[in-house]
Amino acid sequence: MSISLDTGVRFSLEIDGVATTAPAGATILDVCRAVGVDTPTLCYLETLTPVNVCRVCVVELEGARTLVPACSRVVEDGMKIRTDSERVRASRRMVLEFLASSVDVSLADDMQRQMKRYGAKPERFGAEARTVRQPVKVDNELYVRDYSKCILCYKCVEACGSDAQNTFAIATAGRGFDAHISTEFNVGLPDSACVYCGNCIGVCPTGALMFVSEHEMREAGTWDEARQTKTDTICGYCGVGCTLTVHAQDNEIVKVSSPADHDVTHGHLCIKGRFGWKFVGVKKRRSDG
């Protein structure tokens, strides 16, 4: 969510002993980023309302009984914040270990980096630790849902819901460890409200939600990001002017996304922009050419 930071008021605060200032309305995370403090986040995304559920961004705020989430705690004058105390490190490490011990995070690149940074050892909860392992859901031609990889960051629910698409095809169902992302009565996507905008996939940080095209290439072992180019261009359909990032591998489009920081899309697209590129590579064009 963009917060209007322009009230003119600036607060003085201290981060890891260094004095700094921040505009009223900024979050601790905003300040951390502004001063270059690497703060891990999983459920946070600039374009979505902070749900502060993953708790990996917690910091120590002087005078507070518990740690506070940097992503959603708004700064106040005189705050003294520690982002690298043993208490903070322990919490972050545990959160990463909790997740990695329950969820397949093999495709969550940023999380892997943070796990290394905090020395997370998810295996210490034992081989019998409960996980969310389950079969992959393939029920339509465009999406694959592999909830074994879901860390329940709520981003897809927010993108499908009131933060962007307002389609509400998915929500969190169940409770506690059984909480999961689901359609109504767990019906397949074709029976649900899904309009295949792909915005849930666009915000998924762990690869739990994936385009069929990518999933199939990964299964076949041909997906190779090192060989891919990413080119920003404008969608060829309606006149809204959405920026598309075209991911191409060996001169073939393999995926389309949109930059989260783009003013027109905020990273969101519709089914046409997201999937309507197949014609570019169809044989008919080749042979006639």
Scanning residues 52 to 81, which ones bind other proteins (CB under 8 A)? 52-56, 58, 66-67, 69, 72-74
List the beta strands (DSSP E) in 72-203.
80-82, 143-145, 171-173, 180-182
Scanning residues 19 to 48, which ones bind other proteins (CB under 8 A)? none
Q: Distance between CA 24 and CA 9 in Å, rounded?
A: 6
276 binds other proteins (CB under 8 A): yes
Q: Distance between CA 275 and CA 15 in Å, rounded?
A: 44
What region, left, alpha or beta, does residue 191 occupy, with left being phi > 0 and alpha being psi -120 to 50 degrees?
alpha
8 binds other proteins (CB under 8 A): no
Distance from chain centroid for Cα 242? 20
Q: Which of 152, 201, 203, 204 binds other proteins (CB under 8 A)?
A: 152
Nearest distance from C-beta of residue 217 to other proteins, angstroms: 16
Name the pairing type of β-strands 243-249 and 252-257. antiparallel
Q: Which of 5, 34, 217, 248 binds other proteins (CB under 8 A)?
A: 248
Helix axes 86-102, 109-118, angle to 10 degrees: 130
**If you count DSSP H runs as helices and E runs as strands, how many of each does the chain have, helices first?**
8, 12
Span interacting with other proteins, options 12-20, 26-34, 113-121, 226-234, rule CB under 8 A? 226-234
Nearest distance from C-beta of residue 216 to other proteins, angstroms: 13
Name the pairing type of β-strands 171-173 and 143-145. unpaired
Is 283 exposed, middle or buried (CB count within 10 Å of its CB: 0-12, 13-18, 19+)?
Answer: exposed
Between the alpha carbon of residue 230 and those of residues 219, 249, 254, 257, the distances in Å are 22, 9, 10, 9
Span interacting with other proteins, options 25-33, 201-209, 216-224, 266-274, rule CB under 8 A? 266-274
Scanning residues 77 to 106, which ones bind other proteins (CB under 8 A)? 87, 90-91, 94-95, 98-99, 101-102
Give the CB-side neighbour count of residue 262, counting CA atoms within 13 A. 17
Nearest distance from C-beta of residue 214 to other proteins, angstroms: 15
Considering the complex, state which of residue 14 and residue 122 has its C-beta at the smaller distance from other proteins: 122
247 - beta bridge partners?
A: 230, 255
Considering the complex, state which of residue 19 and residue 289 has its C-beta at the smaller distance from other proteins: 289
Nearest distance from C-beta of residue 249 to other proteins, angstroms: 10
Q: Which of 125, 136, 223, 260 binds other proteins (CB under 8 A)?
A: 125
Q: Which of 77, 109, 184, 224 binds other proteins (CB under 8 A)?
A: 184
Q: Which of 81, 169, 203, 204 binds other proteins (CB under 8 A)?
A: 169
Scanning residues 227 to 246, which ones bind other proteins (CB under 8 A)? 229, 231-244, 246
Considering the complex, state which of residue 19 and residue 226 has its C-beta at the smaller distance from other proteins: 226
